[in-house]
């Protein structure tokens, strides 16, 4: 089960030369965020535009905690002393950031889980805006609109892979657990779910916090890769890209992976065509067409296969029948020989 | 601040609020009939803007304005027929995502076709001119905005109350099945709803862009966001709610702009979105909305 | 003796599904011109589903619906209204945002302009109290008045086939009387009516023929008014008091 998924992750990362390292690390970060988002969206059926906000919270928290006091003396000179002097390691910083983010998520989550459908989605978008405003309006901590720089580049390929694998494992474990199954069942049938009432809401709350924990880890990972962050990085654009990954791929963890792969591939292809393309008198950068392509794919998916390419299936659901078919061929051949 | 400044700001608030109200009503009409939140509504504003950019100076300005409104209305109908109609099951969340994706697509297309730099819109000169009453300076465009919005509201209300199409729209908004058994064609009603929302968006766009006299591919985002906020707070199914919330939002924005120090950027947005979450929790049908017409 | 009355409605082998549940199962039914045909059955037997299917609100999984000799199985709901089929749905469902007059105006939208006033007056003659309330919103009416409005709404287009879904449901005896008086009046004027009712006695007083539905299937058919009202009632009530509670 899980093995199937891990093998898939491992194989992908098997060969990574240093030139491709950048691509893979970014892909890994995106994967973590996507898996995190999927842990909530896939189970509850609620589209969340707000997870990137928590990515931002974690990124800033971890970044503030791990960057060197020397830099902070000049960059955030007015911040409280304990923050200025703090210099945690990458992992401790990440852990603190995740915990802090989860606390905020828990408080907010109490409200979010009472909503459903469009109302919930709108509220998550509201969160994105609110967090963005908060970051900009706390310049003593975050340098407001300006870039917060000097975050140590602790994110190596190994770290990225480790985080990605961990995210996938955690997500998968949760979704296959009793609680995950309960959520999946209630996703389709709201009426009978309402019968279970408070239970469902509590599990939904758990999914919310868990999904944000994963996303928070991804946020820290991101911060320690790029080394400098600003509110603009955690925008609606990024949100749409991540949401697209989850929607395209499907409702399972494998779906999020597939979606992440597809979107990253498209992104990279678009970047490679470095120059202009022209339709007659119209010229433009290839890369800027990406939203168009992603948007078109999303619409196509929503119209044709609303549950995404993989639907509810995980990779093992696909591989097992496949290997079984091969296995049967083998045995049947043996049998016919002995019989004949 | 003294009375003159105060009056000045009142005019500003009315003008801004009127635009937000128009956008909110447009969103509300589509929501009531098609049961979806159309995130591509903002692009209708942008499209109207580019139409003006193309036509102002080449044709008499009333023609340009009429054309812009017609184009937005047409674009809205195309959105419905080409995209929204095809989403099976009409799941509101799916439609929301589709409309969001559509808005990005339109923005990118406009970016490709028109480029990212702001295109100047040649409004007729009287729009940017102003007149003085005593010590008060009033821009004609603000007067026009308020007057036009008021006229639109009056005629819209009459239309909804008196005409058959209006009755059909109100009926469909309340109970689609009953409308059908009374002989109302649901397809036509949806097209009418989108056409009206498009026209309102176009009108709002014409007035909104008069402030900057230019248009970019993302021009529609801000009016959409504010109109959307007004719609949710006031009640997506309620005409009165949209108007009051729109005006209220305009007033709030002007007040905060003057009261808050410059260093507090975008706090209006933050506060307003907190309000949205609260409303969705406590009174999801909006302040003036009816139960049953929640998001 | 089967009366050779030209048929307004013929339903053949009709099946209606909600998901996997068959609300209507292979039902055959006909309504002759000028007849008042009764649909009897307990709650959940499928009466509403049958009427809704004839009106076009729900689509048939299989089977055929023929109206005035034409196959309308695939015709959309609003077109059926234009062709002269009029439904007064269960629970009245008048438009509460609209006034009484607006409700009627909307229903009469396709009536030729010169005749609209006349038709509206016709409805007010049938239900005088509506005239005094013509400018009130639908939601302000009492249950009985709303039912009158619902019937008035369906009659104003002078339809060829009237479908009534439990018009006396939830009404006190006085209002029930008013409703059945109106139904009698309509029958007297020659309208073809398919009436679903739980009030068996009153319904059978008016009916030319009757069908009994039980969990989607027709269990008793009164083909030619031969069976007496008594017999039908017994069959129906017999089902209702079934010890297994299937009624």
**Which residue does chain A place closest to B39, by CA atoms?**
A122
Domains of chain B and any CATH numbers: 3-282 (1.10.3470)
Please write the tens of the pLDDT for every residue from B58-100.
888 889 999 999 999 999 999 999 999 888 777 788 888 899 9
Instruction: Estimate to the nearest angstrom the gap between the alpha carbon of C157 and the chain centroid.
Output: 15
Task: Report which of residues C24 and C218 the model is more confident about.
Answer: C24
Task: Report which of residues A73 and B202 the model is more confident about.
Answer: B202
Nearest CA-CA distance, residue B20 and chain C, Å: 25
B26 pLDDT higher than 80? yes
Six-digit token pair at A132? Answer: 């963005």
Nearest CA-CA distance, residue B154 and chain C, Å: 18
Nearest CA-CA distance, residue B187 and chain C, Å: 10
Confidence of residue B170 (pLDDT cuts 50, 70, 90): very high
Are A292 and A313 part of one and the same domain?
Answer: yes
Q: How many separate domains does chain A show?
A: 2
From A196, A216, A233, give the residue that closes a domain.
A233
Please write the tens of the pLDDT for every residue from A41-82.
988 888 899 999 999 999 999 988 888 888 777 777 777 877
For all residues of chain B together, what is the average pLDDT?
89
Nearest CA-CA distance, residue B280 and chain A, Å: 6
Q: For chain A, give the percent of residues with pLDDT over 90.
A: 19
A38 pLDDT higher than 60? yes
User: Which of A272-276, B102-106, B241-245, C140-144 is predicted with the least confidence, judged by mean pLDDT?
Assistant: A272-276
Are A211 and A302 part of one and the same domain?
Answer: no
B280 touches chain C (CB under 8 A): no
Confidence of residue C1 (pLDDT cuts 50, 70, 90): very low
Q: Are strands C217-222 and C62-67 parallel, antiparallel or unpaired?
A: unpaired
For residue A102, the tally of other CB atoms under 10 A from its CB is 20
Residue A111: its chain B contacts at CB < 8 A? 277, 281
Residue C91: its chain B contacts at CB < 8 A? none
Q: Looking up tokens 């009108």, which residue turns up?
A: B203
Are A187 and A265 part of one and the same domain?
Answer: no
Domain assignment of residue A10, yes or no: no
Structure confidence at residue B68 (pLDDT): 94
Contact B280, A153 (CB under 8 A): no
User: Which of A5-19, A109-123, A250-264, C12-26 is predicted with the least confidence, judged by mean pLDDT?
Assistant: A5-19
For residue A1, the tally of other CB atoms under 10 A from its CB is 12
Average pLDDT over residues C125-148: 91
User: Which of A98-107, A212-221, B251-260 is predicted with the least confidence, judged by mean pLDDT?
Assistant: B251-260
**Which residue from A46, A114, A296 is facing B281, i.e. has the nearest CB?**
A114
**A16 Cβ contact list (under 8 Å, min separation 6):** A24, A157
Are A247 and A217 part of one and the same domain?
Answer: no
Domain assignment of residue A73, yes or no: yes
Structure confidence at residue B5 (pLDDT): 79
Task: Determine, for residues C98 and B167 on separate chains, whether the beta-carbon distance falls below 8 Å.
Answer: yes
What gap in Å lies between CA A246 and CA C147, rounded to an integer? 50
Domain assignment of residue A59, yes or no: yes
Nearest CA-CA distance, residue B293 and chain C, Å: 13
Residue C76: its chain B contacts at CB < 8 A? 180, 185
B165 touches chain C (CB under 8 A): no
Task: Determine, for residues B88 and A303 on separate chains, whether the beta-carbon distance falls below 8 Å.
Answer: yes
Task: Determine, for residues B171 and C95 on separate chains, whether the beta-carbon distance falls below 8 Å.
Answer: yes
Task: Determine, for residues B178 and C98 on separate chains, whether the beta-carbon distance falls below 8 Å.
Answer: no
Contact B231, B289 (CB under 8 A): no
**Which residue does chain B place closest to C84, by CA atoms?**
B183
**Which residue from A119, A284, A292 is facing B284, i.e. has the nearest CB?**
A119
Are A74 and A29 part of one and the same domain?
Answer: yes
The answer, yes or no, to whether C and A have at least 3 beta-carbon pairs within 8 Å is no
Are A182 and A257 part of one and the same domain?
Answer: no
Confidence of residue A278 (pLDDT cuts 50, 70, 90): low
C100 pLDDT higher than 90? yes
Residue C109: its chain B contacts at CB < 8 A? 164, 167-168, 182-184
User: Which of B271-280, C111-120, C233-242 is predicted with the least confidence, judged by mean pLDDT?
Assistant: C233-242
Are A47 and A125 part of one and the same domain?
Answer: yes
Confidence of residue C235 (pLDDT cuts 50, 70, 90): low
Q: Tell me phi and psi for residue A125, to 5 degrees.
A: -65, -40
Long-range contacts at B1-7 (CB < 8 A, ≥ 24 apart): B1/B258, B4/B134, B4/B135, B4/B136, B7/B136
Task: Report which of residues B265 and A257 the model is more confident about.
Answer: A257
Residue C78: its chain B contacts at CB < 8 A? 180-186
For residue C66, the tally of other CB atoms under 10 A from its CB is 16
Domain C7-240 fold is: Rossmann fold (3.40.50)
User: Residue A246 sits in which domain range?
Assistant: 235-340
Determine which of A47, A114, A118 to mutate to test the interface with B (most B C-beta atoms within 10 Å).
A118
User: Which of B26-30, B193-197, B237-241 is predicted with the least confidence, judged by mean pLDDT?
Assistant: B237-241
Nearest residue to A212 (alpha-carbon basis) of A129, A105, A116: A105
Contact C206, C184 (CB under 8 A): yes
What gap in Å lies between CA B98 and CA B85, rounded to an integer? 11
Domain assignment of residue A1, yes or no: no
Buried b (16+ CB within 10 A) or exposed e, B180-210: bbbbbbbeebbbbbbbbbbbbbbbbbbbbbb
Determine which of A276, A292, A296, A305 to mutate to test the interface with B (most B C-beta atoms within 10 Å).
A292
Average pLDDT over residues C47-55: 93
**A168 Cβ contact list (under 8 Å, min separation 6):** A5, A6, A9, A31, A35, A253, A257
Domain assignment of residue A143, yes or no: yes
Are A134 and A144 part of one and the same domain?
Answer: yes
Alpha helices in chain C (DSSP H): 47-55, 77-82, 100-107, 113-126, 128-132, 143-155, 173-188, 200-206, 229-240
Q: Which residue numbers of C have CB closer than 8 Å to B's CBs?
A: 55-57, 76-78, 81-82, 86-87, 89, 93-98, 102, 105-107, 109-110, 153, 157
Domain assignment of residue A149, yes or no: yes
Contact C12, C64 (CB under 8 A): yes
Confidence of residue B113 (pLDDT cuts 50, 70, 90): confident
Are A161 and A275 part of one and the same domain?
Answer: no
Please write the tens of the pLDDT for every residue from C180-220.
999 999 999 999 999 999 888 888 888 888 888 888 888 77
Confidence of residue C243 (pLDDT cuts 50, 70, 90): very low
For residue B127, the tally of other CB atoms under 10 A from its CB is 20
For residue C227, the tally of other CB atoms under 10 A from its CB is 17
What gap in Å lies between CA B75 and CA B27, rounded to an integer? 15
Q: Which residue numbers of A have CB closer than 8 Å to B's CBs?
A: 45-47, 111, 114-115, 117-119, 121-123, 125-127, 129-130, 132-134, 136-137, 144-145, 240, 243-244, 247, 279, 282, 284, 288-289, 291-292, 294-296, 298-299, 302-303, 306
**Which residue does chain B place closest to C90, by CA atoms?**
B178
Structure confidence at residue A4 (pLDDT): 59
Confidence of residue A270 (pLDDT cuts 50, 70, 90): confident
Are A172 and A51 part of one and the same domain?
Answer: yes
Are A152 and A77 part of one and the same domain?
Answer: yes
Confidence of residue A339 (pLDDT cuts 50, 70, 90): very low
C241 pLDDT higher than 50? no
Are A151 and A255 part of one and the same domain?
Answer: no
Domain assignment of residue A100, yes or no: yes
């Amino acid at each position: 089960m899980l093995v199937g998924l891990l093998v898939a992750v491992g194989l992908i990362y098997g060969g990574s030369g240093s030139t491709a390292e950048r691509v893979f690390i970014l892909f890994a970060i995106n994967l973590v965020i996507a898996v995190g988002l999927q842990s909530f969206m896939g189970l509850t059926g609620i589209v969340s535009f707000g997870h990137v906000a928590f990515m931002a919270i974690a990124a800033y928290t971890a970044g503030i905690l791990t960057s060197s006091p020397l830099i902070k003396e000049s960059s955030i000179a007015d911040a409280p002393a304990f923050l200025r002097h703090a210099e945690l390691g990458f992992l401790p910083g990440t852990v603190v950031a995740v915990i802090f983010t989860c606390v905020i998520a828990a408080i907010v989550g109490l409200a979010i889980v009472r909503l459903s459908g469009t109302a919930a989605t709108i509220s998550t978008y509201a969160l994105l805006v609110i967090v963005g405003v908060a970051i900009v309006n706390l310049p003593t901590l975050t340098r407001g609109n300006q870039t917060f720089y000097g975050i140590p580049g602790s994110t190596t390929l190994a770290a990225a892979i480790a985080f990605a694998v961990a995210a996938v494992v955690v997500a998968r474990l949760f979704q296959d657990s009793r609680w995950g199954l309960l959520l999946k069942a209630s996703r389709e049938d709201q009426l009978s779910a309402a019968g279970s009432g408070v239970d469902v809401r509590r599990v939904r709350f758990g999914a919310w916090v868990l999904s944000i924990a994963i996303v928070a880890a991804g946020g820290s990972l991101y911060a320690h890769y790029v080394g400098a962050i600003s509110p603009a990085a955690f925008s609606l654009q990024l949100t749409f890209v991540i949401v697209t990954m989850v929607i395209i791929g499907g409702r399972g963890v494998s779906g999020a992976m597939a979606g992440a792969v597809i979107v990253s591939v498209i992104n990279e292809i678009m970047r490679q065509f470095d120059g202009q393309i022209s339709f007659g008198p119209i010229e433009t950068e290839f890369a800027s067409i990406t939203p168009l392509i992603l948007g078109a794919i999303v619409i196509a998916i929503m119209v044709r296969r609303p549950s995404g390419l993989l639907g509810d299936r995980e990779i093992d659901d696909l591989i097992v029948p496949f290997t079984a078919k091969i296995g049967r061929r083998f045995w049947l051949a043996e049998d016919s020989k002995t019989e004949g | 601040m003294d009375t003159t400044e105060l009056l000045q700001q009142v005019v500003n608030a009315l003008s801004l609020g009127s635009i937000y109200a128009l956008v909110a009503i447009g969103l509300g009409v589509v929501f009531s009939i098609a049961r979806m939140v159309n995130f591509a509504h903002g692009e209708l504003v942008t499209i109207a803007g580019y139409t003006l950019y193309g036509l102002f100076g080449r044709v008499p300005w009333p023609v340009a304005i009429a054309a812009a409104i017609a184009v937005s209305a047409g674009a809205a109908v195309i959105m419905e027929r080409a995209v929204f109609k095809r989403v099976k099951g009409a799941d509101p969340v799916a439609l929301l995502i589709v409309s969001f994706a559509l808005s990005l697509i339109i923005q990118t297309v406009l970016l490709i076709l028109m480029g990212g730099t702001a295109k100047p819109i040649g409004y007729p000169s009287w729009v940017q001119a102003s007149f003085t009453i005593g010590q008060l300076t009033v821009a004609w465009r603000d007067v026009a905005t308020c007057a036009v919005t008021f006229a639109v509201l009056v005629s819209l209300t009459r239309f909804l109350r008196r005409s058959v199409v209006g009755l059909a729209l109100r009926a469909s908004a309340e109970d689609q099945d009953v409308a059908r058994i009374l002989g109302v064609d649901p397809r036509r009603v949806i097209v009418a709803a989108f056409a009206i929302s498009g026209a309102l968006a176009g009108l709002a766009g014409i007035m909104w862009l008069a402030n900057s006299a230019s248009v970019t591919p993302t021009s529609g985002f801000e009016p959409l966001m504010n109109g959307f906020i007004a719609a949710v707070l006031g009640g997506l199914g309620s005409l009165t709610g949209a108007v009051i919330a729109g005006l209220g939002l305009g007033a709030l924005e002007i007040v905060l702009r003057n009261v808050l120090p410059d260093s507090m950027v975008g706090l209006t947005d933050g506060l307003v979105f907190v309000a949205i979450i609260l409303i969705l929790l406590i009174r999801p049908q909006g302040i003036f909305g009816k139960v049953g017409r929640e998001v | 003796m089967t009366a050779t009355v030209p048929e307004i409605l013929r339903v053949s082998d009709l099946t209606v599904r909600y998901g996997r549940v068959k609300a209507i199962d292979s039902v055959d039914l006909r309504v002759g011109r000028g007849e008042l045909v009764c649909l009897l059955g307990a709650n959940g037997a499928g009466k509403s589903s049958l009427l809704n299917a004839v009106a076009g609100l729900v689509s048939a999984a299989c089977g055929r619906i023929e109206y005035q000799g034409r196959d309308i199985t695939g015709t959309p709901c609003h077109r059926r209204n234009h062709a002269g089929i009029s439904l007064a749905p269960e629970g009245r469902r008048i438009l509460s945002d609209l006034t009484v007059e607006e409700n009627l105006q909307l229903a009469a939208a396709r009536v030729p302009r010169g005749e609209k006033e006349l038709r509206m007056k016709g409805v007010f003659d049938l239900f005088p109290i509506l005239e005094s309330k013509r400018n009130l919103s639908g939601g302000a009416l009492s249950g009985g008045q709303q039912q009158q409005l619902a019937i008035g709404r369906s009659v104003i287009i002078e339809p060829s086939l009237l479908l009534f879904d439990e018009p006396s449901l939830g009404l006190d005896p006085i209002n029930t009387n008013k409703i059945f008086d109106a139904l009698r009046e309509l029958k007297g004027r020659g309208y073809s009516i398919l009436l679903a009712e739980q009030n068996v006695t009153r319904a059978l007083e008016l009916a030319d023929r009757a069908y009994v539905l039980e969990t989607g299937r027709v269990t008793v058919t009164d083909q030619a008014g031969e069976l007496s009202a008594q017999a039908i009632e017994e069959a129906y009530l017999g089902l209702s008091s079934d010890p297994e509670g299937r009624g």
